[in-house]
């Protein structure tokens, strides 16, 4: 047997975030590492899934997605994002936005073409670019405002640039890209014929006065954009694995082929229930944002009181912090100390950067949790604070 792994698989490691979850379980800790809710999903959506299973919608769905769901996605995209698309030819339902992203990149990127990625980035984007044989070009978002350098971005676009990955609202920084920033990126995409691949799964989780803008809604960008989304975050259904890619018809034709041979399709009954989710009363989205804002304010206050330097998020459900002043050798040592000694799991900042030095003093906390869970985390942070004061 030629028992070696592919060079592709050897170029990335297992997910640090999911590893922190495993370490947390070993220490019976509180998990503020992996971004999944510990509170129930809306009852009417769960009921829709139960009914779909009882109605025996238990075989393969149409590869690129149940018509009901594709129509619901198109309707909601027109309402919330201001872009009209054809559900017959411009939507591919996938197994979560994770699969939508990798299927989209594999459908558009040729070997050695360049893909621009803002860092810190959601950790899947690194392996995604490796799996599609692209050459990633990283642009660093600089704290405290997590802005990019316009000149650096302009210089990075070239004839080999195929795509730019945008994630707004952003994981891990909580940044919400402004209209001006998106217009700047759009102008470069239009100039160089580059596709914007935008992950908008936190589009409804916004704080203060932040507004979500889809780059596909800017003039000329509808046909240059792949918009990726899922039910995971908006409806607290991360385990259902239903997401989608919205793209102009010629790109969708390629995405559908890659998707078909990667997974055949997303779970049929859960697609039916996802259509119900997308038709939920619109007041749901306001309540969702308000409840997340309360969680953000609670955890920000606790972290601040415990001595962390926090970057206050405008969206999504994470808080990036700086811990350089606590005197640990690096972010991994700090995160291990917090989980092993106090039972609180977080994510070391370096896992969001191409060069670990950029994240060596950063730690990410997530807060899609019940009040009781956040209170338990607060208690653990209280012990950490006490240790430092002794």
Binding site for ligand PLP (CB under 6 A): 35, 96-98, 122, 167, 171, 199, 201, 230, 232, 238, 243
Question: Shortest approach of ligand PLP to residue 130 CB, angstroms?
Answer: 17
Nearer to ligand PLP, 15 or 63 (CB): 15
* Helix/strand/coil percent split, the chain, to 5: 45, 15, 40
As beta bridge partners, residue 310 has 321
Question: Shortest approach of ligand PLP to residue 232 CB, angstroms?
Answer: 3
Determine contact, residues 156/188, Cβ cutoff 8 Å: no
Question: Shortest approach of ligand PLP to residue 135 CB, angstroms?
Answer: 22
Question: Shortest approach of ligand PLP to residue 307 CB, angstroms?
Answer: 27
Query: Measuring CA to CA, which residue among 118, 125, 36, 33 is closest to residue 331?
Result: 33
As beta bridge partners, residue 92 has 245
As beta bridge partners, residue 114 has 135, 161
Which DSSP string corresponds to 141-171?
A: PBTTTTBPPHHHHHHH--TTEEEEEEESS-T
Nearer to ligand PLP, 169 or 384 (CB): 169
Compute CA distances 313 → 203, 337, 357, whole Å.
13, 25, 22
Which DSSP string corresponds to 13-62?
A: ---HHHHHHHHHHHTT-EE-SS---SSPPPHHHHHHHHHHHHTT--SPPP
Question: Shortest approach of ligand PLP to residue 171 CB, angstroms?
Answer: 4
Nearer to ligand PLP, 122 or 334 (CB): 122
Question: Shortest approach of ligand PLP to residue 201 CB, angstroms?
Answer: 5
Query: Measuring CA to CA, which residue among 184, 56, 54 is closest to residue 118?
Result: 184
Tell me the pairing of strands 161-167 and 195-199. parallel
Give the angle subtended at the CA of 226 by the CAs of 221 and 208, to the nearest 5°: 80
Question: Shortest approach of ligand PLP to residue 242 CB, angstroms?
Answer: 8
Nearer to ligand PLP, 171 or 314 (CB): 171
Nearer to ligand PLP, 194 or 266 (CB): 266
Question: Shortest approach of ligand PLP to residue 325 CB, angstroms?
Answer: 28
88: preceding bond cis by omega (within 30 degrees): no
Q: Which residues contact 66 (CB under 8 A, 6 or more apart)?
A: 93, 268, 271, 272, 275
Nearer to ligand PLP, 36 or 326 (CB): 36
Question: Shortest approach of ligand PLP to residue 158 CB, angstroms?
Answer: 26
Which residue of this chain has its Cβ atom nearest to ligand PLP in the complex?
Answer: 96
Determine contact, residues 173/120, Cβ cutoff 8 Å: yes
Nearer to ligand PLP, 170 or 342 (CB): 170
As beta bridge partners, residue 363 has 321, 348
Nearer to ligand PLP, 104 or 342 (CB): 104
Nearer to ligand PLP, 206 or 342 (CB): 206
Task: State the DSSP code for 188.
Answer: H
Nearer to ligand PLP, 171 or 214 (CB): 171
Residue 148 CA to residue 27 CA, distance in Å, equals 38
Question: Shortest approach of ligand PLP to residue 240 CB, angstroms?
Answer: 8
């Amino acid at each position: 047997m030629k028992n070696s792994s592919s060079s592709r698989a050897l170029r990335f490691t297992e997910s640090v975030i999911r590893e922190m979850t495993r370490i947390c379980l070993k220490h019976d800790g509180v998990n503020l590492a992996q971004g999944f809710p510990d509170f129930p999903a809306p009852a009417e959506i769960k009921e829709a899934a139960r009914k779909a299973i009882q109605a025996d919608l238990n075989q393969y769905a149409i590869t690129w997605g149940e018509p009901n769901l594709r129509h619901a996605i198109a309707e909601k995209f027109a309402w919330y994002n201001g872009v009209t698309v054809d559900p017959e030819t411009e939507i591919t339902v996938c197994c979560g936005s994770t699969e939508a992203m990798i299927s989209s990149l594999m459908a558009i990127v040729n070997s050695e073409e360049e893909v621009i990625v803002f860092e810190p980035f959601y950790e899947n984007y690194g392996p995604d670019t490796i799996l599609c044989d692209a050459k990633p070009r990283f642009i660093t978002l600089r704290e405290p405002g997590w802005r990019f350098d316009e000149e650096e971005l302009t210089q990075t676009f070239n004839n080999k640039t195929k795509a730019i990955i945008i994630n707004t609202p952003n994981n891990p920084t909580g940044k919400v890209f402004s209209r001006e920033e998106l217009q700047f990126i759009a102008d470069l995409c239009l100039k160089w014929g580059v596709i914007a691949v935008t992950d908008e799964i936190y589009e409804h989780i916004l704080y203060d006065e932040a507004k979500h803008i889809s780059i596909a809604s800017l003039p000329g960008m509808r046909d240059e954009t792949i918009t990726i989304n899922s039910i995971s975050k908006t409806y607290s259904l991360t385990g259902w694995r239903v997401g989608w890619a919205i793209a102009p018809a010629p790109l969708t034709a390629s995405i559908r082929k890659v998707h078909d041979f990667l997974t055949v399709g997303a779970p049929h009954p859960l697609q039916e229930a996802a259509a119900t989710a997308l038709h939920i009363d619109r007041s749901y989205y306001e309540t969702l944002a308000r409840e997340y804002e309360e969680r953000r304010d609670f955890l920000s206050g606790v972290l601040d009181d415990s001595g962390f330097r926090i970057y206050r998020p405008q969206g999504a459900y994470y808080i990036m912090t700086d811990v350089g002043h606590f005197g640990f050798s690096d972010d991994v040592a700090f995160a291990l100390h917090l989980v092993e000694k106090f039972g609180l799991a977080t994510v070391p900042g370096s896992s969001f950067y191409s060069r670990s030095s950029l994240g060596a003093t950063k730690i990410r906390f997530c807060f899609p949790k019940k009040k009781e869970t956040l209170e338990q985390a607060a208690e653990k942070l209280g012990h950490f604070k006490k240790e430092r004061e002794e």
